[in-house]
Every structure is written in C-alpha cells, then in structure tokens.
Structure 1
Amino acid sequence: MTLDARSKYILNRFVETNGYLAVRTITNSLNISRRTFYYDLKKINQFLQENGLQEIQRQKKRGYYLRQEDKHKIPSLVQLMNHTQYFFDKQDRHMMMAVQLLSSEKALFLEDMQKMTQVSKGTVSNDLKALKKALTKFLLEVKFDRKSGFSITGSETNKRSALVYYVTQLVTTNKRENILEKVNTAVVPHLLKLPYFSEQRLYHIKNVIVSNEEMLGVELTDDTIEYLAFQFMILMQRIRDGHRVLVERFEKEALQQTKEFSAARAIINQLSKLENDPLPEDEVYFVTMNLLGSKVNHSDFEVHKTEEMKSLKAAIHHMVLDFQKYACVVFQNKEKLETTLFLHLKPAYYRLKYNVDITDEWSSIIQQKYPEIYQLTSRVVFHLEAILDKKIPEQELAYIAIHFGGWLKKEGKKPAPRRRALIVCQNGIGTSNMLRMQLEELLSTIDIAGCISLRQYYQMKIDVEVIFSTTPIKTGSVPVILVEPIMNEKEKELLLKQYNFLFGRNSSAKSKISVESIIDIVQHHAQILDKKELVRELSCHLQAETTDTLKERDKPMLNELLTEEMIQLVDEVEGWEKAIKLASRPLLDRNFIEQAYIDSMIDDIKTLGPYVVIAPRIAIPHSRPENGVNKVGISLLKSSESISFSDQEKHQANLIFVLAAIDNETHLKALSQLTNLLGEEENINRLIETSNKQEILELVDYYSQE
C-alpha cells in the first residue's frame, strides 16, 4: 500500500522524534480530530507490517513511539515529506508568522504569510487569530489596515521579548537543521530579511557570553548560553533597524547594584567591537535584565513598565485599605500616604524584582520597638507579594512599616490593641480554614495563632487571650467562645455580642448589621414582594467588602471550580462510603485526584468519625494534598434522601462537597465563597430541593464575586 501526504507527515514526525509523541501533539499540529489520527495510525501500522517492520508502539501515560532500529529503514521505503509538504505544522507556522510580523519594517498581508507558510488563505487566517491571542501575554496587539496590512504594535521591550521567545522556540525544535538559513533563503527571501539570524553570528555571540561567565559567577548551561545568544542577536538586529529601549531611573539604580551589571557592560563593549559600532548606554541595562532573566525567568521583564506601575499603585491602595481595617483607624489624608508609599516602594519594587539585597540593620529594631505596626504591615504586604510572585523579606517589610508608623504618628493615631486567638476544631483542616476566614472577616484585630484539634488543646500550653471552639471544652483562665463551623447572620451577631462583652464595645469587631433587623424595619413601611430574594441580596451585600480587593494570583473563585460537570444530582445513595466515591467521581475522571485520595477520605472517617459533617445536611470530605491531589477542585453530590454518616441524626447530609486542595492556600478564596453561600439556610434549602443544575450554578455564580 501507499501512504497519503498526511500519513507520511505523521510517520515523518515519529522518525524525527527522539522519545514519545502524544496524540495531542499530532492533532494540534495538523488541526485534526483524535479519530482522524487513529485512522491514519491504522494505515501507517499496516504499511509498516507489510514491509516487515514493527508497528508504532504505545506506552501508557507517555505516548506513542517508533523503535529506533526501524527508523533507519523507513527512508528507503517511502519518500518522507519535504518542507514544501506539511513541513510546517501549526506551531511552526505561528512562530514563523510572529517572527515575520515582528521583524518586518512594513505591514504584511495575508498573501505574504500564505507564501511563507505554504498553506491556504483560510488556514493562515485561523493561525493569525490564534497568534493575536498568544501575543496578548506580551502586551502586544495585531493591527490591520486595509491599505498596508497587518502589523504589531506595542513597546520595544515587549517586541524584543516576543521575538526572543518565538525565534528560540523556532530554532530549538527537533528539526532545526539550519532552519535559520531556511527562514532567510529557502522559504520567502523577498519577505523575511534577517541577515543577523545566522549560525555564524550565533557562534560569535556565544563566545562573548562564555568569556564573561567568570564575571557572572555562574557556569551557564548550554541551553542558557544559546538562549542568551538569541536575545543578544535580536538586540543587535533591533538596534540596527533603529529601535531603542528606555530604562527608568529607579530601575537603573536597582540594576546597577547587581553583579550582572558589570558583566552586561563587558558584553556590550565586546558586542560593540563585533558590530564595529558603539551600542546605546541603555542597552547595558537591557542586557542586565536578560542576564538576570536567565537566572530567574524571562517573563520577569516582559511586562510593560506602565502596567507594572499601575499594578504597584493598585497593590499600595489595597495595602492602605487593609491597614486601616486591621488597625481600626481612618487616615485623614489617605491619598497622600499612598503617594508617599509609592515613591518609596518604586525602587524597592525593582530591588525585589531583581533580587538586590539591602543591609538588614533596621528589621530587628523595628520588630522590637514597634511590634504591632510591624505585625499589621506583615498582614497587608500580600498584595505586593502577589504582583511580584515572591515573599517580601523582613528588611523590606521593616522599611514599609516605618512609613505606616510615621504616618500614624503624624496624624496622632494609634492602632487598636490586637488580641491573640486560637481555634479549636475537631472537623479537620478544611473546616478550620473556613472558620478562620469567617472570624478574620468579622473581627479585624484578632491574630489567629493557629488551628488545633481537641486532643492538641489538652496537650499543649495555651498562650492566647481568647479561644474559639466548635465543641464544648473545659475552660481555664482563657475565655472560650463556642462557634459553628459555618455561621449564619444570627450566629455572627451572637458571637459579636459575646466578644464585646469580654473585651468592650470598642473592640476589634467590625460593625455588622443583622439582615433580620433590616427585614423587620422594611416590613413595617413597605410590602416585600420576594422575601427570599431580598434576604439573599442583603446577606451578600452586607458580607461584601466595601472596596474591591486585589485579585490574588492563582486563587480560583468558586464558580471556576464548582462547574456543571462537577455537580451530580441523585435521589438516594446506599451508604456514606458509596456517596463519597460517587461524589468524587468527577474529580477522579478528570485526573484532579487519584483513587488513593478517595480511599484516604474514607479511611479518615473510619478512624476519626464523621467529622466531615460540618453542619446539618452538609458534609465536606477531604484529606491531605499528598494523599493524591493533582489539581485543586470541588465537586458536589446532592442527594434528595439524607445520607447517614453515623447513627446520630446530626450526622446526616444531603450535600456532599468533596474538596481537593493542593496546598493550604490555593483553595481558600473558593472555600470562603462556599462558606458565605452555605451560611444562609435559604440557600441550603434551595440546593437540596432543586432538580436543576442550572439553578445551582446561578447560586454559585452569585457568591463567586471578588
């Protein structure tokens, strides 16, 4: 038999690939379905059998592969695809189009890109749509003009970052084979004129980098050297074409303090000799960023500086709001404080971004002299940590605390006294986290020292001022407030009264208004048309923060986890073990969890009892992340008939939420929103009574708000 062009292309991929190929890799590159791939694979295997060769093999969880000894025999049996026949797969085409658009001094039309990639106009059009979306991560935009065609707009720094990314990806594929020369000559020499993109130039630049390794103080890997060489090759191409970068003064000051700066200056001097032309001074700083990026991550300097500063200002705004909330103060000139903090944090931002250490002479002094202010500052810097994606070191935190402390002194204010608290909960870490979030929202100046079990409580020495417990415990000198794992409005109001009685009305409690009291007043003066909906909207409104909070990185909302495919509605289930297995199935089927995680949840309940039933009709089974969680997720099983977790009536549940947490942080936002949802009896009734997934999703969406 003979193979068609697509089958030849697929066989060619197996011949060229060292190792395994995933089905997705082939289907994505050819834009075909899995069914089509298996159809072609059947033809290829028949061809191989007829020629006395072994079929393409499959190894579970790794992919398909071709035996090495068979690869050498195939070229003599069939003429494989050359670069004019399926040579460029979808990924290659995207990379080539990106390089072409970013490098060309003129706008280009679809026909130009069609000649380059040698595919149909429709395919190029689809590729261009995908490329537009991909370029947004570099803050670049593809523009179209009827007269001139397509072009890319954005900052020079971002264009260089994108070029580095796409050129590196293009030339480090398995079928490199001097693709630089192919791009420059064989494909469309009249379009892509990139004389700097050559193996010879790459070789010289690599030598420059290697000669400065000692100054950098590290031995770079071959991949890193090649990556840097492409960065510098693109840098010289862009300068030659008249494109320059501008680096801010604050960023320069931070970069000058790094050891990479000296190496960058030496590299620029050598590259200038290579070019027989001096390179602009700001390029020293750009090379420094590249050197730092090779050690950290190139995405650190892809973000546009203006966007960075907008993010920094937003972080500062929310830091000040949170500081006011936790300190129970209101700054008279909040805007001026934010401006002052911005001027301080701008250079600090670049120090942190580029890992520039400062001497730690103040941190310990400030912690000792102003412990409350330091502690308050440590609670609000997570907004800054979110945009930097790194922990704020103590010395930088101390300098921020100085600014807050100075402003408090300037306005003659003192932070409200803080109280250390402890949570005693025998329902596990998931329930403890839910309770902790409710308490921290309700009482702004308590510091939760930890969440412990009942057994730990009786074994350890307690050093706190108040204890919140989900179960009655023997009290000593420390007052104990009994709480529910999920509190409704009345229970929250009762908690506040108890706390105020213990510590005075001017305590750390945030002012909360009872929904019931508002409803009573409204009923005296107006007719309520939909009491259930009014209760729900008022509850959501009163529980919401008065200002938007900065979105925490990588913390999904409830509606991002509890989606339609994660919800199951049944009439009844025979036994709690089967219920947990059934409730976990959506997570297991999508590889969010392993079977071991389900077994662990069941074993925990058998060992510890029905602790997962955290409130009447609600169970939240969970186990530790290391017991088989691959991805954060939540699933829901709703049973019309109650499921008994013990002989006691209080351990019956209709709603089983399986929680899969990958750590102690990522799931907290979604868990907080679920807590708010389940805090209303009306919502629980709606969930149990409904037979419509859409109604559940609408309720989930309603509580999935920033």
Structure 2
Amino acid sequence: MSLDQRSTAILSHLVNAESYVSVKEIMEKFKISRRTVYYDIEKINGWLEENKLQPVDKVRGLGFGLDQETAKRIPEKIELFKTWQYDYSAKERKGWLALYLLGRDSPLFLEDLAKKVRVSRNTTIEDLKLLKEEIERFHVKLQFERKSGYRVIGEEDDKRKAIVYYLSNVLPNEGWQTLLSKIPTMLNLADSNIEDRLNLFELEELKAVQTIVAESEKDLNIHYTDDFFYSLTFRLIFFGKRLTQGKEIRIDEVEKEVLTETKEYKAACKIAQKLSYVFHVNFPHDEILYITKHLLSSRVQSSQGVFQENENTETHVLVEVVSKMVTDFQKYACVFLKERDLLEKNLLLHVKPSYYRIKYELEVENRVAELMKEKYPDVFLLTKKVIHHLEQAIGKKVNENEIALLAMHFGGWMRRTGVTPANRKQALIVCASGVGTSKLLEHQLEGLFSTVDIVGSVSLREFETNEYQVDFVVSTTPVSRKDVPVFVVSPILTEAEKESLLLNVNALVGTDVKDKSISVEGLLEIIKKHATITDKEGLEKEVRKYFSKPNSKVVVSTKPSLHQLLTKEYIQIKKDVKDWKEAIRVGAMPLLEKGNITEEYVQSMINTILQLGPYIVVAPKVAIPHAKPENGVKKLGMSLLCLEEGVKFSQSKRHEVNLLIVLAAIDGETHLKALSQLTTMFSEPTNVNKLVHAQSIETILQTIEAYST
C-alpha cells in the first residue's frame, strides 16, 4: 500500500495533532468530501498495517487520532526504510519533470523521465504536453528532438524563475521531517537501474545547504517562514548546479548599485562563500547579487531588526506606501485599527518581500488567494482597493496571491478590534421560473443569512443532470435528487418560511446551539444507552433544530444593504452650510434624532478631522465622516446630506464636498456590505452629479436602490 500526496499530508497532520482531529477539520483543511476523508484514512491504515503500526483510531464525537507510540514511530520508520513509498500527484509529476529538465543542460530521454516520476510512458507524455504549454509563461520552451530527447531552452534568468515556481509545486508543507522522508523517493535510491547522473542533488549536499540557510537567518536577524526556508534551500542547490554547468546569471548595471546597498547583500556574500565549498565552484559577483534578490523577496515569520534611517531608498518608499495603505484601508472600511504604529511596522515586514517578489518576477504558487476570496471576501476586496499604492511604487500589477497575503495581515489586525469573520457556507438556487425570479430569491436569502454565499442559480434540468459542490440548495420547486439538503420555498419568502429556513440552515451549518456547553453528539450517546434509535440521522437533525429554536422572535445577524440603512428619514437635501463643522452636525442630525448615536459621537468626528485632517474625503465631492464605535454609537446607522453648494474641508479644491455620508459603525465588519455598495455607486461620476443636483429624496432613493443588490 502506497501513500499519495494528500493521504501523506493527512497522516502528517495526525502525527502532529495534540488531540483527536474531527472529520470536519480534515474536510476543511484539505478541501475534500467526507467520503474522501474515510477513503484516505483507509489507505493510511493499509500503510500502517504494512509497517506493523497501530491503525488510526476513530472515536465517535471526537474524530481520528494515533496512539502515542505509533505517532512516535512513524518518523522513525520513514528514516529506517529510506524509501517511503510515495505516489506523485499529477501536479507534482509536472513539477518534478520541469525541475529535472531545468536542473541540467543536456537533454533527457522519455524513458529516463518516466522512471524518475515512476509512471508509464503514456502518462509521462501527457504530463509533458501540459508542461510544454504551461512553461511558456516564463518565456522558455520545452523542445523535443527524436535523437536526443527533451530539453528546456531559453535565457538563464527565465529558467531560474521557472525553477522557483516549480519548486513551490513540489515541496511539502508538512515540515522538514516529511521533506527528508521524500528525498529517497525523489532520488530514486531504491531503483538501481537509474544512473546517478540523473539525480538533482545528494542528501548530504541538501543538509549542508540547509545549514547555510539557517545561518543566514542569524546574519539577517530574522526567522523565515517554513515554506520559504525549504524553498530557499532548494533554490540555492539548483543555482549552484547551474553554476557548475557554466550557466551564470547576469544582473543589470543599474540594479547592481541598488542591491549592494542592502543588508541582504552582506548576507548573500557569506552564503556564496559557504556555497563555493559545497559545490567546488567560485560564485561570481552577479551570482551573489542574484542571491541578494531572493533574500530581499523572502517571506519572514518574524524579525528582530528595527527600521533604520540609513535603510536603502526603496525601503523608505515602502514605509510611505504602507502608511498610505493603512490610511486608505481605515478610510474605506471605516474602522480604526488599534496600535497603528505596530501595525505599520509588521505590515512593512510583509510588504517589503512582496515588493521584491513582484519586481523580480519570483512567482510562487500558493492557495492563499482562493481561500481568502472564499472565506473573507470583504477584507480581500478592501485590500485590493488599497493595493494601488504598492503597484505605483513597483510599476507593475500586484497578483491576487500577493494581495491575499497582505489581506491576511489586515484581517488578523481587524480581529484585534473584536471582529471575528464567520465561517461561510455555499448555497445554490434552483428555479424553474427564470432569472428574474431567482435574482429576487437570491436578494432575500442574502438579507437573511450573513454567513451564506449564493454561488449561483440554475434550472431544474441543470440541477438534476449536473454535480454541484454546495452545502445546501434552496428551490422554488420540488427536486428529486437528495444528496444535499434541499429547502423548497416560495419565490417571495413569507415570514414563516424565513423562520423555517433559519432553523434548518442554522442546524445544518452548526450555528445552532447557543449554549456551547451542550453537545448534540453527547446527548445522542445518552439517548442511545437508554433507547433504541431507528433513525439516528433524523433524530440528530430534530435535536439540532430544537436547540436552535429562538426563544421569542427570530433575530437575524446580517450585513445590511445600502438601501436598508439609507432610508428616506436619513436623507437630507440642503442648499448650503456655514462650514465643514456645521456640515458634520447637520449631516449627523437624523442619526442623533433616531438614537443611533450620541452628541459625543458628533464631537468625536469633528475632533478626529481636526487631528488627522480631511482624511474622510474619499472621492471628488464625497466624504464619509465617522469615529470609533466606542465614542457614542448605539446602533448601526448611515445618513446622507446632499449640498447644492460644496463645503471646504481644507483650502484645497479637491477637499470640497457636496455629499456627506455619516457612518455610525458598531464594529469593523457589519457595515462593509453597505459601504461596498456605496463605493460602487460613487465610482461612477454621473451618480455623484445626479445626487448633488437631485431635487427630491425620491430621486436619490432610486439611485441607492439600483446599487443595493
């Protein structure tokens, strides 16, 4: 029994877990179905049995676990057998094929490549076809000649960029021990038919370079992230091998001057000196500068270094970039991030390597972007909105993976203000009445569930003939397929249907039990002891519904849309005001009268502008005054003041404002949906002019309604 990439990762997760790991945790971590989890556990148990180890233990209500002795002996077994049976995934095969071809200058025959990745000739041919198409993104080509075999042709700099990318495809994320366990397989040590000339590296060589990388952390006074630590180790091995083949890198003369000014250059000099002993080759100055680029682009877990005035020019630019990004992020999200100085210091630690990765086109593959967009779309979009400061500094577009890494940092800091993003579920709408009806239902469901994403609307025929990976389905007509929960409702939801949906969906997604000390699984075990259960699944659902039932009326925690906040009584049209302070007071009046805010909040908004300047002016003619929730917000609210004659928030013409949206936020998250819709509305200049010249509140409401879906 052999282990593939995913089952290996699951086993590693169980080895390192402090306690039992639930099925749900494995499903979410590895993005697989419940059925696949059990399939992989069965495969793991087969491997454990072959190696005379205890199987994975399954405990109802707790999940999977390994006994202590087995957990201790797994790494020992890996070392003992040297060749841990491991099946490459299709992605890994493609990555290793690229690296074998990029790691040498002479061609390789198909038979050699097939043996290295341990699959058939036909499978290797298919993998090479995909690789040929993909590798062109790095401006290199995969060439085949019948007499000599396969080789990659192109510039040395482009080849090395491809090496960096494909390393990110093949290196494991489970730690150094797991990495070492795969080395024999990578080297094919168990296969005596494969010549040593085809090996990319030796185990002792790897350990020597790993020590050099660890020592560079001390020189730079930083701690690399684990994935970069492993990646840099292998990058240096490949660069050393390329150098021994006579393949040197060339650095632009202008860049040389900039790179030699950095502290990373000094560390690169030490690295190159040590590598010269490992590879028995002298590292020229351009190679040292090339290593400097990689050190500058390193992902860092922590840094003990303090920003110095004598830092290079680019670092000073990035300090300003970070400050602008934080200012804009707070402005667009309408939140005050605590300990701003510390936030900017930590954010600089992430922005700096991101800057160099993009500048030097050192692309790596990472699942972070898709996960951030899926789990925390609001924070991701807000970060995307402020990323233009970094793009201007680099002169290049920032890819979504880099945006996601920075969004993670902003998201983590937002949680310091008490915001904890909820886990989100996916739902599908099935509607036989067309797009109009499905859109109407979608709008109602979005208002009902704050943690559910509607992934789309399909017809009944589409639903019954295709597979959809969703948590549940809402349908306007009965459907026959029942592999996921289906809730049948009217196109326009009644109050009873809303309450029923809340009960059922809350029970389904696990937000049902208000008293977390109550365990549904534990209760079912007690019932099982004293009674015969004929329908366990049905009983569990009923129990969950019972505990999720509201005491009186249904309370829905949602992110309201723009039109739900900016209603008629919160909108004013005025000819003019005396000055900006009066504009704040007049604009806040509806919120004050309705009890959303106190007088303290109004004064706090004025004081903040006096202290920080006209930061609230977010677009031409538009300002969003706000203050901290603790300074007098009673409930979420938004008001709009339209001025025929603009009011100046500074002497600058660009700070003249006609539209004031006073925001009273209760936290860092609840208002984001409405704020996003407001931003979309004002991104169209014609809408700004339409509101400025509106003669009636009804005209304004029509525009707001159009952007509230």
The TM-score with structure 2 as length reference comes to 0.39
Tell me which structure has the larger Cα radius of gyration. Answer: 1
The TM-score with structure 1 as length reference comes to 0.39
